[in-house]
A and B are shown apart, each in its own frame.
Chain A
Amino acid sequence: MSALETSVPTSLRASADRRVEVKGLSKSFQLARTTIEAVRDVTFDVRRGEFVALLGPSGSGKSTVLNMIASLIRPTGGEILIDGKRVVAGKATPDVGYVFQRDTLFPWRTVADNIGYGLELSGVPAQERKARIAECVAQAGLKGFESAYPSALSGGMRQRAALMRTLIVEPQILLMDEPFGALDTHTKIDMHEVLLRIWEREQQTVLFVTHDLGEALTLADRIILFSARPGRIKDMFTVDFDRPRDAVKVRETPHYAELFQHIWHSLGEEFVKGRSA
Protein backbone atom coordinates (compact mmCIF):
# COMPACT_ATOMS: atom_id res chain seq x y z
CA MET A 1 0.00 0.00 0.00
CA SER A 2 2.75 2.45 0.93
CA ALA A 3 4.62 1.64 -2.27
CA LEU A 4 1.49 2.47 -4.18
CA GLU A 5 1.00 5.78 -2.43
CA THR A 6 4.47 7.04 -3.23
CA SER A 7 4.01 6.28 -6.92
CA VAL A 8 0.69 8.07 -7.21
CA PRO A 9 1.09 11.38 -9.10
CA THR A 10 0.10 14.55 -7.25
CA SER A 11 -2.85 15.18 -9.58
CA LEU A 12 -4.40 11.93 -8.38
CA ARG A 13 -3.52 12.36 -4.75
CA ALA A 14 -5.96 15.23 -4.56
CA SER A 15 -8.75 12.71 -5.14
CA ALA A 16 -7.29 10.13 -2.78
CA ASP A 17 -10.36 9.94 -0.60
CA ARG A 18 -12.66 9.70 -3.58
CA ARG A 19 -12.91 6.03 -4.40
CA VAL A 20 -15.41 6.29 -7.23
CA GLU A 21 -15.54 9.19 -9.64
CA VAL A 22 -18.21 9.35 -12.30
CA LYS A 23 -17.67 12.04 -14.92
CA GLY A 24 -20.14 13.10 -17.59
CA LEU A 25 -21.49 9.58 -17.97
CA SER A 26 -24.09 8.92 -20.69
CA LYS A 27 -25.61 5.86 -22.25
CA SER A 28 -27.94 5.38 -25.20
CA PHE A 29 -29.44 2.10 -26.30
CA GLN A 30 -30.52 1.12 -29.77
CA LEU A 31 -33.91 -0.54 -29.49
CA ALA A 32 -35.49 -1.61 -32.78
CA ARG A 33 -34.87 1.58 -34.83
CA THR A 34 -35.22 4.12 -32.08
CA THR A 35 -32.46 5.37 -29.85
CA ILE A 36 -33.29 5.44 -26.20
CA GLU A 37 -31.32 7.79 -24.03
CA ALA A 38 -31.07 6.03 -20.68
CA VAL A 39 -28.48 8.18 -18.91
CA ARG A 40 -27.52 11.78 -19.64
CA ASP A 41 -24.41 13.48 -18.32
CA VAL A 42 -24.22 12.01 -14.85
CA THR A 43 -21.40 13.24 -12.62
CA PHE A 44 -20.78 12.42 -8.98
CA ASP A 45 -18.09 11.26 -6.54
CA VAL A 46 -18.23 8.72 -3.77
CA ARG A 47 -15.87 9.02 -0.81
CA ARG A 48 -14.03 6.11 0.68
CA GLY A 49 -16.30 4.28 3.10
CA GLU A 50 -19.38 6.24 2.14
CA PHE A 51 -22.78 4.60 1.74
CA VAL A 52 -24.55 6.18 -1.21
CA ALA A 53 -28.04 5.33 -2.42
CA LEU A 54 -29.01 5.92 -6.05
CA LEU A 55 -32.73 6.58 -5.85
CA GLY A 56 -35.19 7.05 -8.65
CA PRO A 57 -38.27 5.67 -10.39
CA SER A 58 -37.85 2.67 -12.67
CA GLY A 59 -36.43 3.68 -16.01
CA SER A 60 -34.37 6.47 -14.49
CA GLY A 61 -31.13 4.81 -15.52
CA LYS A 62 -29.81 4.25 -11.99
CA SER A 63 -29.18 0.55 -12.60
CA THR A 64 -27.54 1.39 -15.90
CA VAL A 65 -25.16 3.74 -14.09
CA LEU A 66 -24.35 1.01 -11.58
CA ASN A 67 -23.77 -1.56 -14.32
CA MET A 68 -21.41 0.83 -16.09
CA ILE A 69 -19.46 1.26 -12.85
CA ALA A 70 -19.40 -2.55 -12.54
CA SER A 71 -17.92 -2.78 -16.08
CA LEU A 72 -20.92 -4.80 -17.28
CA ILE A 73 -22.08 -2.09 -19.73
CA ARG A 74 -19.97 0.13 -21.96
CA PRO A 75 -20.83 3.85 -21.58
CA THR A 76 -21.63 5.92 -24.67
CA GLY A 77 -19.84 8.89 -23.19
CA GLY A 78 -17.93 10.02 -20.12
CA GLU A 79 -15.71 8.00 -17.85
CA ILE A 80 -15.56 6.24 -14.52
CA LEU A 81 -12.52 6.16 -12.25
CA ILE A 82 -12.11 3.79 -9.36
CA ASP A 83 -9.16 4.73 -7.16
CA GLY A 84 -8.02 6.89 -10.05
CA LYS A 85 -8.04 4.01 -12.51
CA ARG A 86 -10.33 4.01 -15.48
CA VAL A 87 -13.00 1.29 -15.61
CA VAL A 88 -12.87 -0.75 -18.82
CA ALA A 89 -16.12 -2.41 -19.91
CA GLY A 90 -15.89 -6.19 -19.86
CA LYS A 91 -12.96 -6.20 -17.42
CA ALA A 92 -13.90 -6.76 -13.80
CA THR A 93 -12.24 -4.29 -11.45
CA PRO A 94 -10.57 -6.06 -8.56
CA ASP A 95 -11.91 -5.09 -5.14
CA VAL A 96 -15.37 -4.38 -6.52
CA GLY A 97 -18.18 -6.66 -5.42
CA TYR A 98 -21.61 -6.77 -7.00
CA VAL A 99 -24.92 -7.96 -5.60
CA PHE A 100 -27.65 -8.56 -8.17
CA GLN A 101 -31.33 -7.77 -7.89
CA ARG A 102 -32.15 -11.41 -8.56
CA ASP A 103 -29.86 -13.65 -6.54
CA THR A 104 -27.65 -15.41 -9.06
CA LEU A 105 -26.64 -18.28 -6.80
CA PHE A 106 -25.46 -21.22 -8.87
CA PRO A 107 -28.23 -23.81 -8.51
CA TRP A 108 -25.77 -26.68 -8.97
CA ARG A 109 -23.66 -25.65 -5.97
CA THR A 110 -24.57 -26.06 -2.33
CA VAL A 111 -24.92 -22.97 -0.18
CA ALA A 112 -21.40 -23.45 1.22
CA ASP A 113 -19.89 -23.97 -2.24
CA ASN A 114 -21.72 -20.91 -3.55
CA ILE A 115 -20.39 -18.74 -0.74
CA GLY A 116 -16.87 -20.11 -1.19
CA TYR A 117 -16.91 -19.66 -4.97
CA GLY A 118 -14.82 -16.48 -5.05
CA LEU A 119 -12.15 -18.01 -2.81
CA GLU A 120 -12.07 -21.10 -4.99
CA LEU A 121 -11.41 -18.92 -8.04
CA SER A 122 -8.41 -17.29 -6.44
CA GLY A 123 -7.04 -20.63 -5.30
CA VAL A 124 -7.44 -20.27 -1.54
CA PRO A 125 -6.58 -23.66 0.02
CA ALA A 126 -9.54 -25.82 1.01
CA GLN A 127 -8.76 -25.68 4.72
CA GLU A 128 -8.74 -21.88 4.93
CA ARG A 129 -11.74 -21.70 2.62
CA LYS A 130 -13.74 -23.92 4.93
CA ALA A 131 -13.05 -21.73 7.93
CA ARG A 132 -14.03 -18.55 6.13
CA ILE A 133 -17.17 -20.11 4.69
CA ALA A 134 -18.20 -21.22 8.18
CA GLU A 135 -17.76 -17.64 9.39
CA CYS A 136 -19.93 -16.24 6.59
CA VAL A 137 -22.56 -18.93 7.02
CA ALA A 138 -22.86 -18.00 10.68
CA GLN A 139 -23.03 -14.29 9.88
CA ALA A 140 -25.82 -14.86 7.38
CA GLY A 141 -27.75 -17.05 9.80
CA LEU A 142 -27.55 -19.99 7.42
CA LYS A 143 -26.19 -22.55 9.88
CA GLY A 144 -27.56 -25.99 9.08
CA PHE A 145 -28.15 -25.12 5.45
CA GLU A 146 -24.52 -25.39 4.29
CA SER A 147 -25.10 -28.48 2.20
CA ALA A 148 -28.55 -27.51 0.92
CA TYR A 149 -28.99 -26.42 -2.68
CA PRO A 150 -30.31 -22.88 -3.32
CA SER A 151 -33.61 -24.21 -4.62
CA ALA A 152 -34.43 -25.40 -1.12
CA LEU A 153 -34.02 -21.94 0.46
CA SER A 154 -36.46 -19.07 0.91
CA GLY A 155 -35.97 -15.80 -0.95
CA GLY A 156 -34.43 -14.05 2.04
CA MET A 157 -32.00 -16.90 2.73
CA ARG A 158 -30.96 -16.99 -0.90
CA GLN A 159 -30.27 -13.27 -0.94
CA ARG A 160 -28.24 -13.55 2.29
CA ALA A 161 -26.20 -16.36 0.73
CA ALA A 162 -25.71 -14.25 -2.41
CA LEU A 163 -24.59 -11.32 -0.26
CA MET A 164 -22.06 -13.56 1.50
CA ARG A 165 -20.76 -14.92 -1.79
CA THR A 166 -19.90 -11.33 -2.70
CA LEU A 167 -18.58 -10.32 0.74
CA ILE A 168 -16.32 -13.33 1.35
CA VAL A 169 -13.70 -11.95 -1.03
CA GLU A 170 -13.75 -8.74 1.04
CA PRO A 171 -14.44 -6.19 -1.69
CA GLN A 172 -13.64 -2.59 -0.75
CA ILE A 173 -16.37 -1.29 -3.01
CA LEU A 174 -19.81 -2.82 -2.97
CA LEU A 175 -22.27 -2.26 -5.82
CA MET A 176 -25.82 -3.35 -5.07
CA ASP A 177 -28.63 -3.32 -7.62
CA GLU A 178 -31.95 -3.36 -5.77
CA PRO A 179 -30.71 -6.41 -3.90
CA PHE A 180 -33.75 -6.63 -1.65
CA GLY A 181 -36.31 -5.56 -4.23
CA ALA A 182 -37.93 -8.96 -4.49
CA LEU A 183 -38.31 -9.53 -0.74
CA ASP A 184 -41.33 -8.86 1.45
CA THR A 185 -41.22 -5.89 3.83
CA HIS A 186 -40.22 -7.83 6.94
CA THR A 187 -37.50 -9.85 5.28
CA LYS A 188 -36.28 -6.63 3.73
CA ILE A 189 -35.86 -4.93 7.09
CA ASP A 190 -34.04 -8.03 8.42
CA MET A 191 -31.69 -7.69 5.48
CA HIS A 192 -31.16 -4.00 6.27
CA GLU A 193 -30.05 -5.00 9.75
CA VAL A 194 -27.64 -7.60 8.36
CA LEU A 195 -26.20 -5.15 5.86
CA LEU A 196 -25.88 -2.29 8.37
CA ARG A 197 -23.96 -4.47 10.86
CA ILE A 198 -21.59 -5.68 8.14
CA TRP A 199 -21.05 -2.19 6.80
CA GLU A 200 -20.39 -0.73 10.25
CA ARG A 201 -17.66 -3.31 10.75
CA GLU A 202 -16.07 -3.39 7.29
CA GLN A 203 -16.71 0.22 6.19
CA GLN A 204 -16.87 -0.60 2.53
CA THR A 205 -17.73 2.03 -0.02
CA VAL A 206 -21.29 1.18 -1.04
CA LEU A 207 -23.37 2.22 -4.05
CA PHE A 208 -26.91 1.03 -3.50
CA VAL A 209 -29.56 1.29 -6.21
CA THR A 210 -33.16 1.38 -5.03
CA HIS A 211 -36.56 2.87 -5.80
CA ASP A 212 -37.60 2.54 -2.17
CA LEU A 213 -37.10 5.84 -0.32
CA GLY A 214 -37.47 4.20 3.11
CA GLU A 215 -34.69 1.77 2.28
CA ALA A 216 -32.42 4.58 1.05
CA LEU A 217 -33.01 6.60 4.24
CA THR A 218 -32.41 3.60 6.49
CA LEU A 219 -29.09 2.69 4.96
CA ALA A 220 -27.39 5.59 3.23
CA ASP A 221 -25.20 8.55 4.16
CA ARG A 222 -26.22 10.32 1.01
CA ILE A 223 -29.03 9.92 -1.50
CA ILE A 224 -28.55 10.77 -5.15
CA LEU A 225 -31.94 11.30 -6.73
CA PHE A 226 -32.34 10.43 -10.40
CA SER A 227 -34.94 11.97 -12.70
CA ALA A 228 -37.21 10.00 -15.01
CA ARG A 229 -35.81 9.05 -18.43
CA PRO A 230 -33.39 10.24 -19.59
CA GLY A 231 -31.71 9.61 -16.26
CA ARG A 232 -30.00 12.67 -14.85
CA ILE A 233 -29.10 13.65 -11.33
CA LYS A 234 -31.94 15.74 -10.03
CA ASP A 235 -30.82 16.35 -6.51
CA MET A 236 -28.62 15.09 -3.67
CA PHE A 237 -29.54 14.74 -0.01
CA THR A 238 -27.39 14.10 3.03
CA VAL A 239 -28.86 11.59 5.45
CA ASP A 240 -27.43 12.47 8.83
CA PHE A 241 -29.00 9.97 11.23
CA ASP A 242 -26.62 8.72 13.91
CA ARG A 243 -24.65 5.55 13.40
CA PRO A 244 -24.93 2.77 14.31
CA ARG A 245 -28.50 2.75 13.07
CA ASP A 246 -31.29 0.42 13.99
CA ALA A 247 -33.23 -0.47 10.85
CA VAL A 248 -36.52 -0.48 12.74
CA LYS A 249 -36.06 2.37 15.22
CA VAL A 250 -34.60 4.83 12.73
CA ARG A 251 -37.96 4.96 11.00
CA GLU A 252 -39.68 6.08 14.20
CA THR A 253 -37.75 9.36 14.61
CA PRO A 254 -39.31 12.70 13.68
CA HIS A 255 -36.23 13.58 11.67
CA TYR A 256 -36.83 10.53 9.50
CA ALA A 257 -40.39 11.65 8.79
CA GLU A 258 -39.16 15.15 8.00
CA LEU A 259 -36.51 13.95 5.53
CA PHE A 260 -38.89 11.42 4.03
CA GLN A 261 -41.45 14.11 3.29
CA HIS A 262 -38.86 16.46 1.87
CA ILE A 263 -37.40 13.90 -0.56
CA TRP A 264 -40.74 12.25 -1.28
CA HIS A 265 -42.03 15.44 -2.84
CA SER A 266 -39.11 15.57 -5.24
CA LEU A 267 -39.29 11.83 -5.99
CA GLY A 268 -43.05 12.00 -6.53
CA GLU A 269 -42.62 14.51 -9.33
CA GLU A 270 -40.42 11.98 -11.11
CA PHE A 271 -42.90 9.16 -10.61
CA VAL A 272 -45.53 11.26 -12.30
CA LYS A 273 -43.17 12.21 -15.11
CA GLY A 274 -42.11 8.57 -15.57
CA ARG A 275 -45.75 7.58 -15.83
CA SER A 276 -46.54 10.00 -18.60
CA ALA A 277 -43.33 9.22 -20.51
Chain B
Amino acid sequence: MKRYGTLGTVGWQVLICAIVLSVWQWGYDLRAKLPWLVPDLLDPYFISKPSMIFDNFLIQSCLTSKLGVFNGWFNGEFAKCLARNENNLWAATAITLKNTFFGFVTGVVSGFVAGLILGRSDRLSAIFQPFITAVNSIPRIALAPIIVLAFGIGDMSKIVTSWIVVVFLVFFNTFEGARSIDEGFTNAARLLGASEWQITRTVVVPSTMAWVFASLTPAISFALIGVIVGEFIGAERGIGRLIIESEARGEASGMMVAVVVLMLVGVVLSAIIWRLQAYLLRWQRQRSAE
Protein backbone atom coordinates (compact mmCIF):
# COMPACT_ATOMS: atom_id res chain seq x y z
CA MET B 1 0.00 0.00 0.00
CA LYS B 2 1.20 3.46 -0.84
CA ARG B 3 2.22 5.46 2.19
CA TYR B 4 1.22 9.06 2.65
CA GLY B 5 3.59 10.93 4.95
CA THR B 6 4.87 9.25 8.07
CA LEU B 7 1.50 7.73 8.96
CA GLY B 8 0.30 5.02 6.60
CA THR B 9 -3.31 4.90 5.39
CA VAL B 10 -4.13 2.48 8.19
CA GLY B 11 -2.41 4.75 10.69
CA TRP B 12 -4.66 7.61 9.72
CA GLN B 13 -7.71 5.41 9.90
CA VAL B 14 -6.82 4.27 13.42
CA LEU B 15 -6.14 7.87 14.45
CA ILE B 16 -9.51 9.06 13.13
CA CYS B 17 -11.29 6.26 14.97
CA ALA B 18 -9.47 7.07 18.19
CA ILE B 19 -10.37 10.76 17.95
CA VAL B 20 -14.05 10.12 17.21
CA LEU B 21 -14.38 7.53 19.98
CA SER B 22 -12.54 9.74 22.49
CA VAL B 23 -14.72 12.76 21.78
CA TRP B 24 -17.78 10.55 22.03
CA GLN B 25 -16.59 9.02 25.32
CA TRP B 26 -15.18 12.06 27.15
CA GLY B 27 -16.28 15.09 25.17
CA TYR B 28 -19.32 15.84 27.27
CA ASP B 29 -17.25 15.84 30.47
CA LEU B 30 -15.63 19.05 29.22
CA ARG B 31 -18.98 20.83 29.21
CA ALA B 32 -18.62 21.99 32.81
CA LYS B 33 -15.40 23.89 31.96
CA LEU B 34 -15.94 24.82 28.31
CA PRO B 35 -19.70 25.09 27.74
CA TRP B 36 -19.27 27.06 24.48
CA LEU B 37 -17.25 24.26 22.90
CA VAL B 38 -19.45 21.27 23.57
CA PRO B 39 -22.79 21.06 21.72
CA ASP B 40 -25.93 19.59 23.32
CA LEU B 41 -25.79 16.73 20.87
CA LEU B 42 -22.86 15.18 22.72
CA ASP B 43 -25.13 14.57 25.71
CA PRO B 44 -24.94 10.83 26.49
CA TYR B 45 -28.69 10.96 26.98
CA PHE B 46 -28.98 11.22 23.17
CA ILE B 47 -25.97 9.39 21.85
CA SER B 48 -24.76 7.35 24.81
CA LYS B 49 -21.04 6.63 25.17
CA PRO B 50 -18.82 3.89 23.74
CA SER B 51 -18.29 2.34 27.18
CA MET B 52 -22.03 2.32 27.95
CA ILE B 53 -22.78 0.92 24.51
CA PHE B 54 -20.31 -1.88 25.09
CA ASP B 55 -21.82 -2.71 28.51
CA ASN B 56 -25.29 -2.65 27.00
CA PHE B 57 -24.13 -4.91 24.21
CA LEU B 58 -22.91 -7.47 26.77
CA ILE B 59 -26.27 -7.39 28.53
CA GLN B 60 -28.44 -7.52 25.40
CA SER B 61 -26.42 -10.36 24.00
CA CYS B 62 -26.78 -12.25 27.32
CA LEU B 63 -23.00 -12.41 27.73
CA THR B 64 -23.32 -10.76 31.15
CA SER B 65 -26.17 -10.29 33.59
CA LYS B 66 -27.60 -6.83 34.24
CA LEU B 67 -25.20 -6.52 37.17
CA GLY B 68 -22.22 -7.01 34.88
CA VAL B 69 -21.46 -10.59 35.95
CA PHE B 70 -20.55 -12.94 33.13
CA ASN B 71 -23.21 -15.49 32.32
CA GLY B 72 -21.64 -18.93 32.45
CA TRP B 73 -21.90 -21.17 29.41
CA PHE B 74 -21.79 -24.44 31.35
CA ASN B 75 -24.01 -23.55 34.28
CA GLY B 76 -26.78 -22.71 31.79
CA GLU B 77 -27.06 -19.03 32.76
CA PHE B 78 -26.44 -17.97 29.16
CA ALA B 79 -29.13 -20.28 27.80
CA LYS B 80 -31.55 -19.20 30.49
CA CYS B 81 -30.95 -15.54 29.70
CA LEU B 82 -31.60 -16.18 26.01
CA ALA B 83 -34.81 -18.04 26.84
CA ARG B 84 -36.06 -15.21 29.08
CA ASN B 85 -35.90 -12.71 26.26
CA GLU B 86 -37.41 -13.84 22.98
CA ASN B 87 -35.99 -10.80 21.19
CA ASN B 88 -32.44 -11.00 22.52
CA LEU B 89 -29.73 -9.50 20.35
CA TRP B 90 -28.85 -12.82 18.68
CA ALA B 91 -32.44 -13.72 17.84
CA ALA B 92 -33.19 -10.17 16.68
CA THR B 93 -30.15 -10.14 14.39
CA ALA B 94 -31.00 -13.56 13.01
CA ILE B 95 -34.58 -12.63 12.19
CA THR B 96 -33.61 -9.30 10.60
CA LEU B 97 -30.92 -11.02 8.55
CA LYS B 98 -33.30 -13.74 7.44
CA ASN B 99 -35.93 -11.25 6.28
CA THR B 100 -33.29 -9.09 4.59
CA PHE B 101 -32.01 -12.13 2.76
CA PHE B 102 -35.42 -13.15 1.44
CA GLY B 103 -36.34 -9.58 0.51
CA PHE B 104 -33.02 -9.15 -1.28
CA VAL B 105 -33.13 -12.44 -3.17
CA THR B 106 -36.75 -12.13 -4.30
CA GLY B 107 -36.15 -8.49 -5.23
CA VAL B 108 -33.01 -9.22 -7.22
CA VAL B 109 -34.46 -12.21 -9.04
CA SER B 110 -37.78 -10.58 -9.97
CA GLY B 111 -36.13 -7.25 -10.83
CA PHE B 112 -33.56 -8.99 -13.00
CA VAL B 113 -36.10 -11.12 -14.88
CA ALA B 114 -38.47 -8.19 -15.43
CA GLY B 115 -35.62 -5.94 -16.52
CA LEU B 116 -34.38 -8.54 -18.97
CA ILE B 117 -37.80 -9.16 -20.52
CA LEU B 118 -38.71 -5.49 -20.88
CA GLY B 119 -35.21 -4.53 -21.89
CA ARG B 120 -35.30 -7.00 -24.78
CA SER B 121 -38.82 -6.19 -25.95
CA ASP B 122 -39.51 -2.76 -27.43
CA ARG B 123 -43.22 -3.46 -27.42
CA LEU B 124 -43.51 -4.46 -23.77
CA SER B 125 -41.28 -1.64 -22.59
CA ALA B 126 -43.41 0.85 -24.55
CA ILE B 127 -46.59 -0.49 -22.93
CA PHE B 128 -45.30 -0.59 -19.38
CA GLN B 129 -43.11 2.52 -19.43
CA PRO B 130 -45.68 5.02 -17.99
CA PHE B 131 -46.72 2.63 -15.23
CA ILE B 132 -43.16 1.97 -14.22
CA THR B 133 -42.36 5.68 -14.15
CA ALA B 134 -45.47 6.33 -12.02
CA VAL B 135 -44.80 3.57 -9.51
CA ASN B 136 -41.13 4.49 -9.37
CA SER B 137 -42.10 8.04 -8.37
CA ILE B 138 -43.65 6.76 -5.14
CA PRO B 139 -41.15 6.80 -2.29
CA ARG B 140 -41.38 3.04 -1.69
CA ILE B 141 -40.86 3.38 2.04
CA ALA B 142 -44.19 5.26 2.19
CA LEU B 143 -45.87 1.99 1.35
CA ALA B 144 -44.47 0.25 4.44
CA PRO B 145 -47.49 1.00 6.73
CA ILE B 146 -49.86 -0.31 4.06
CA ILE B 147 -47.76 -3.44 3.67
CA VAL B 148 -47.71 -4.07 7.41
CA LEU B 149 -51.48 -3.56 7.46
CA ALA B 150 -51.93 -6.02 4.62
CA PHE B 151 -49.41 -8.67 5.60
CA GLY B 152 -49.52 -8.43 9.39
CA ILE B 153 -46.73 -7.92 11.90
CA GLY B 154 -45.01 -11.20 11.07
CA ASP B 155 -42.04 -11.79 8.76
CA MET B 156 -43.98 -11.52 5.52
CA SER B 157 -44.58 -7.77 5.77
CA LYS B 158 -40.82 -7.21 6.28
CA ILE B 159 -39.93 -9.32 3.29
CA VAL B 160 -42.45 -7.52 1.10
CA THR B 161 -41.23 -4.07 2.19
CA SER B 162 -37.68 -5.13 1.52
CA TRP B 163 -38.64 -6.63 -1.84
CA ILE B 164 -40.40 -3.51 -3.02
CA VAL B 165 -37.40 -1.26 -2.40
CA VAL B 166 -34.97 -3.70 -4.01
CA VAL B 167 -36.95 -4.76 -7.04
CA PHE B 168 -37.08 -1.35 -8.75
CA LEU B 169 -33.43 -0.66 -8.24
CA VAL B 170 -32.40 -3.94 -9.81
CA PHE B 171 -35.07 -3.69 -12.48
CA PHE B 172 -33.88 -0.31 -13.76
CA ASN B 173 -30.26 -1.34 -13.84
CA THR B 174 -30.99 -4.59 -15.65
CA PHE B 175 -33.28 -2.77 -18.05
CA GLU B 176 -30.61 -0.20 -18.94
CA GLY B 177 -28.02 -2.96 -19.25
CA ALA B 178 -30.20 -5.01 -21.57
CA ARG B 179 -30.92 -1.96 -23.74
CA SER B 180 -27.31 -0.97 -24.11
CA ILE B 181 -25.94 -4.29 -25.36
CA ASP B 182 -23.39 -3.89 -28.11
CA GLU B 183 -25.09 -4.92 -31.36
CA GLY B 184 -21.81 -6.37 -32.56
CA PHE B 185 -22.08 -9.10 -29.92
CA THR B 186 -25.63 -10.09 -30.78
CA ASN B 187 -24.85 -10.02 -34.50
CA ALA B 188 -21.75 -12.15 -34.00
CA ALA B 189 -23.75 -14.68 -31.99
CA ARG B 190 -26.60 -14.73 -34.49
CA LEU B 191 -24.22 -15.27 -37.42
CA LEU B 192 -22.66 -18.18 -35.57
CA GLY B 193 -26.09 -19.75 -35.49
CA ALA B 194 -27.36 -18.74 -32.04
CA SER B 195 -31.11 -18.90 -31.44
CA GLU B 196 -32.88 -16.05 -29.64
CA TRP B 197 -32.78 -18.03 -26.41
CA GLN B 198 -29.08 -18.79 -26.84
CA ILE B 199 -28.41 -15.10 -27.48
CA THR B 200 -30.23 -14.22 -24.26
CA ARG B 201 -28.33 -16.81 -22.28
CA THR B 202 -24.84 -16.34 -23.71
CA VAL B 203 -24.79 -12.65 -24.68
CA VAL B 204 -27.55 -10.66 -23.00
CA VAL B 205 -27.21 -12.10 -19.50
CA PRO B 206 -23.42 -11.87 -19.21
CA SER B 207 -23.15 -8.41 -20.70
CA THR B 208 -25.95 -7.17 -18.44
CA MET B 209 -24.18 -8.58 -15.38
CA ALA B 210 -21.93 -5.56 -14.88
CA TRP B 211 -25.04 -3.35 -14.67
CA VAL B 212 -26.81 -5.73 -12.33
CA PHE B 213 -23.85 -5.88 -9.99
CA ALA B 214 -23.64 -2.12 -9.90
CA SER B 215 -27.08 -2.20 -8.29
CA LEU B 216 -26.45 -5.00 -5.81
CA THR B 217 -24.44 -3.11 -3.19
CA PRO B 218 -27.10 -0.40 -2.83
CA ALA B 219 -29.73 -3.14 -3.11
CA ILE B 220 -28.45 -4.97 -0.05
CA SER B 221 -28.52 -1.72 1.97
CA PHE B 222 -32.01 -1.01 0.69
CA ALA B 223 -33.13 -4.51 1.65
CA LEU B 224 -31.89 -3.91 5.19
CA ILE B 225 -33.60 -0.49 5.31
CA GLY B 226 -36.86 -2.06 4.13
CA VAL B 227 -36.79 -4.66 6.87
CA ILE B 228 -35.90 -2.18 9.63
CA VAL B 229 -38.65 0.24 8.60
CA GLY B 230 -41.12 -2.65 8.51
CA GLU B 231 -40.01 -3.58 12.02
CA PHE B 232 -40.40 0.02 13.20
CA ILE B 233 -44.01 0.01 12.11
CA GLY B 234 -45.01 -3.25 13.61
CA ALA B 235 -43.07 -6.32 14.62
CA GLU B 236 -42.58 -8.68 17.50
CA ARG B 237 -38.93 -9.40 16.85
CA GLY B 238 -35.96 -7.99 14.98
CA ILE B 239 -33.36 -5.25 15.38
CA GLY B 240 -35.84 -2.56 14.35
CA ARG B 241 -38.05 -3.72 17.22
CA LEU B 242 -35.06 -3.47 19.60
CA ILE B 243 -34.53 0.15 18.57
CA ILE B 244 -38.19 1.05 19.10
CA GLU B 245 -38.20 -0.60 22.55
CA SER B 246 -35.00 1.18 23.64
CA GLU B 247 -36.41 4.46 22.41
CA ALA B 248 -39.56 3.90 24.45
CA ARG B 249 -37.37 3.43 27.52
CA GLY B 250 -35.28 6.47 26.65
CA GLU B 251 -32.25 4.24 26.52
CA ALA B 252 -29.75 5.59 24.00
CA SER B 253 -27.17 2.85 24.54
CA GLY B 254 -29.74 0.19 23.62
CA MET B 255 -30.46 1.96 20.33
CA MET B 256 -26.77 2.41 19.66
CA VAL B 257 -26.08 -1.29 20.14
CA ALA B 258 -28.70 -2.03 17.50
CA VAL B 259 -27.22 0.59 15.17
CA VAL B 260 -23.72 -0.81 15.56
CA VAL B 261 -24.96 -4.33 14.88
CA LEU B 262 -26.75 -3.05 11.75
CA MET B 263 -23.57 -1.37 10.62
CA LEU B 264 -21.58 -4.58 11.03
CA VAL B 265 -24.27 -6.57 9.24
CA GLY B 266 -24.25 -4.06 6.40
CA VAL B 267 -20.48 -4.18 6.07
CA VAL B 268 -20.40 -7.99 6.01
CA LEU B 269 -23.19 -8.23 3.43
CA SER B 270 -21.52 -5.65 1.17
CA ALA B 271 -18.23 -7.50 1.46
CA ILE B 272 -19.91 -10.73 0.34
CA ILE B 273 -21.43 -8.98 -2.68
CA TRP B 274 -18.08 -7.42 -3.47
CA ARG B 275 -16.30 -10.77 -3.41
CA LEU B 276 -18.96 -12.35 -5.58
CA GLN B 277 -18.70 -9.49 -8.06
CA ALA B 278 -14.92 -9.67 -8.17
CA TYR B 279 -15.24 -13.33 -9.10
CA LEU B 280 -18.10 -13.15 -11.60
CA LEU B 281 -16.82 -10.03 -13.32
CA ARG B 282 -13.17 -11.08 -13.26
CA TRP B 283 -12.98 -10.50 -17.01
CA GLN B 284 -13.37 -6.79 -16.34
CA ARG B 285 -10.45 -6.59 -13.97
CA GLN B 286 -7.90 -7.50 -16.60
CA ARG B 287 -8.97 -4.43 -18.51
CA SER B 288 -7.85 -2.11 -15.78
CA ALA B 289 -4.57 -4.01 -15.61
CA GLU B 290 -3.95 -3.34 -19.28
Q: Which A residues have a C-beta under 8 Å from some C-beta of B?
A: 70-72, 92, 94, 96-98, 100, 102, 104, 106-109, 117-118, 120-122, 148-149, 151-152, 165-166, 169
Contact = CB atoms under 8 A, between A and B. Distances in A.
Given A100-B184, A104-B184, A106-B185, A151 B191 contact: no
A169 B184 contact: no
Give the size category of B's interface with A: 20 to 34
Nearest to B191: A98
B17 interface: no
Interface in B238-290: 281-284, 286-287, 289-290
A74 to B, nearest CB: 14
A71 B190 CA distance: 10
Nearest to B186: A104
Of the listed residues B184, B188, B189, B283, the one surrounded by the most CB atoms of chain A closer than 10 A to its CB is: B188
Of the listed residues A100, A107, A109, the one surrounded by the most CB atoms of chain B closer than 10 A to its CB is: A107
B203 A121 contact: no
5 contacts: A106-B207, A120-B202, A121-B202, A151-B290, A166-B192
B286 A121 contact: no
Q: Main SS of the interface on chain A?
A: loop
B202 to A, nearest CB: 7
Given A108-B206, A108-B283, A149-B283, A169 B185 contact: no
Contact of A107 (B191, B194, B283): B283
Contacts of A166: 192
B136 interface: no
A118 B193 contact: yes
B193 A122 contact: yes
Contacts of B202: 106, 117, 120-121
A97 to B, nearest CB: 7
Contacts of A107: 283-284, 287
Nearest to A96: B191
Contact of A152 (B190, B192, B289): B289
Nearest to B203: A106
A94 B188 CA distance: 13
A166 B191 CA distance: 9
A151 B281 CA distance: 13
Nearest to A110: B283
Contacts of B129: none
A122 B193 CA distance: 8
A121 B187 contact: no
Contact of B198 (A104, A121, A148): A121
B211 to A, nearest CB: 13
A72 B207 CA distance: 21
A102 B187 CA distance: 12
B212 to A, nearest CB: 13
B187 A94 contact: no
Interface string B47-86: 0000000000000000000000000000000000000000
A104 B287 contact: no
B286 A108 contact: no
B209 interface: yes
Of the listed residues A70, A92, A166, the one surrounded by the most CB atoms of chain B closer than 10 A to its CB is: A92
A92 B286 contact: no
A152 B184 contact: no
The 6 closest A-B pairs by CB, nearest first: A104-B184, A104-B188, A151-B287, A118-B192, A149-B283, A108-B206
B40 interface: no
A152 B290 contact: yes
A92 B193 contact: yes
B236 interface: no
Given A152-B286, A152-B289, A102 B184 contact: yes
B188 A100 contact: yes
Contacts of B203: 106
B190 to A, nearest CB: 5
A78 B104 CA distance: 55
A121 B198 CA distance: 7
A108 B286 CA distance: 11
A104 B192 contact: no
Contacts of A71: 191
A108 B184 contact: no
A151 B209 contact: no
Contacts of B189: 117, 121
A175 to B, nearest CB: 9
Of the listed residues B182, B198, B286, B290, the one surrounded by the most CB atoms of chain A closer than 10 A to its CB is: B286
Nearest to B209: A108
Nearest to B182: A104
Contact of B193 (A102, A108, A121, A149): A121
A169 B193 contact: yes
A64 B275 CA distance: 45
A104 B187 contact: yes
Nearest to B287: A151
B290 A70 contact: no
Contacts of B188: 98, 100, 104, 106, 165
Contacts of B194: 121
B191 A70 contact: yes
Contacts of A96: 191
A150 to B, nearest CB: 8
Interface in B179-221: 182, 184-185, 187-194, 198, 202-203, 206-207, 209
